[in-house]
Each structure stands twice: as structure tokens, then as C-alpha cells.
Amino acid sequence: MPLELETLEPSSPHATAAQDLLDRIDTIKPEVRELTHGSKRDARRLGQIAAIPDAALEAVSSMVQRNERLMQVAGAPAEKMRDAMAFALAHEPVVQALFAAGRALAHTIRAARAEAGYSARDVYVMATRLSTRPEGVELIPFVEDLKKKMSRGKKRKTVADPPSATPADPATPATPGKK
């Protein structure tokens, strides 16, 4: 199922370029043999097993190749084990390249947002100054609206609730005594 962009107008050149990238990513997926999606739980479960050193895997596959009983225990012939390891080794650089591209794209997006943010903040500061002058009185509603939209909301200190003022039970002593 291809991903779709829903946040920008279809006529936006950026939306078109981003949709083209998503389409190209979707065309790459079928090229990866047996591409699977897993949950975080699956990743944790597989992570420890996948961390077995290459030398140990090669030693096991070599032993499985020479011993019929171990081949039955392994559940797979040595050739299949070696093929799986070769697949993993060959595709690790691809994963690193994709993660690097993802980090670079995320940084590029942050930089673009920051560029727009700098301009918005400059406009807000200037509109605030101009709204204090008689000729800028029409900017006051705009400034007040922007002030609400640009505020991140102050974190309120949580004040501990004062102890409830319920009357004490006269049968209970005020200080605990020793038994």
C-alpha cells in the first residue's frame, strides 16, 4: 500500500516531489528478498539471536554440513544458513545508507521549518512594535492571535494539595504509640 501525502495541496511542487520520492521508495521494497515488518518486541527478540558472531555461525554451518543429526536439529541445511548470513552481510550497508539518508532528510526538514520560523518570529516582533503606534492599531488583533499561537504554554508548577481538613477520629491517638 503506497503512502500518500495529505498535508499539502496537490498543486504544491514540494508535495509532488515528495510524492515522487514516496513512490520510488515503494518501488524499492519489492526488490528486497523476503522483506518483513516487525514490532519492537520482535526486534528485541531477534536482536540477541542475530548478535551471534559470524565466526560462530560459520562454525555451526560447517558442523551442520558434516553431521546429519545436527542438520535435523538446525532445521535448515548449511547452505541456507550461509545464504541467510550472506544476505545479512550484504544488506547491512544498505540499512546504514538509508538511516543516514533519513537523518539527513530529517535535518533538512528541521532547517526548512527553522527558516520559516525565523521569518515568522521577525514578522511577529515587528508587528508587535508597530501595533503600539497609532498607525498600527489594526495589527493588535493579529498580534494577540499570534501571541496565542506562538506561545508554547508555560509549564505550571504542581503545588502539592494541602492536607485535607477532615476532623480526626477522637478514638485514634494523635501520635502513634508503641505497642
Domain map (residue ranges) of the chain: 38-150
Question: d(Cα 93, Cα 134) in Å, to the nearest integer?
Answer: 63
Residue-wise pLDDT for 85-132, tens only, equals: 999 899 999 999 999 999 999 999 999 999 999 999 999 999 999 999
Please give the pLDDT value at position 59: 92
Is residue 6 over pLDDT 60?
A: no
Report which of 24, 40, 34 is spatially closest to residue 98, judged by C-alpha positions.
24
Model pLDDT for residues 34-50, shown as the tens digit of each residue: 888 888 888 888 888 88
Contact 74, 81 (CB under 8 A): yes
% of the chain with per-residue pLDDT over 70: 79
Out of 13-27, 55-69, 93-107, the most confident range is 93-107
For the chain, first and last CA: distance in Å? 71
Give the Cα separation of 140 and 120 in Å (integer): 16
Q: Provide the pLDDT for residue 1.
A: 46
Of 126, 120, 121, 122, the residue nearest 139 (C-alpha): 126
Across all residues in the chain, what is the average pLDDT?
A: 83
Which of these, 25, 8, 161, 26, lies nearest to 98 by C-alpha position? 25
**Distance between CA atoms of residues 50 and 38, nearest Å:** 14
Lowest mean pLDDT among 10-14, 42-46, 51-55, 88-92: 10-14
* Average pLDDT, integer, range 132-139: 94
Q: Which tens digits make up the pLDDT trace of 64-91?
A: 988 888 988 888 888 988 998 999 899 9
Closest CA to 121 of 150, 97, 164, 154: 150
